[in-house]
Amino acid sequence: MPETEHLGHMRVESPESALPGRRLSELAEQAVRCTRECCGASSLVSEGDMEPPAAVTHPDLAALVSVQLRSGDGPIPAALERGEPVDSADLLREERWPEYRAVALDSGVRSSLTIPFRRSVLTVALSLYSFRPGVLGDASRGPARALGELAATCLVGDRSYRAALTELGQLGAALRSRPVVDQACGIVMHVLGCDADDAFGVLRRISQGTNRKLTDVAGAVVDKRGRGLEKELVSLSN
3 CB contacts (<8 Å, ≥6 apart)? 57, 58, 59
Distance CA 38, CA 40 (A): 6
Distance CA 130, CA 141 (A): 17
Asked if the model's pLDDT at residue 13 lies above 70, the reply is no
Length of the chain: 238
pLDDT digits (tens, 9 = 90+) for 18-62: 468 888 999 999 999 999 999 999 999 998 766 788 999 999 999
Asked if the model's pLDDT at residue 100 lies above 60, the reply is yes
For 46, the 3-state DSSP assignment is strand
* φ and ψ of 42, to 5 deg: -135, 155
**Residue-wise DSSP of 104-147:** HHHTT--EEEEEEEE-SS-EEEEEEEESSTT--GGGGGSHHHHH
The amino acid that residue 219 corresponds to is G
Looking at per-residue pLDDT, the higher value among 187 and 59 belongs to 59
The amino acid that residue 112 corresponds to is S
39: left (phi over 0), alpha (psi -120 to 50) or beta: alpha
pLDDT digits (tens, 9 = 90+) for 205-230: 888 888 888 788 888 888 877 665 66
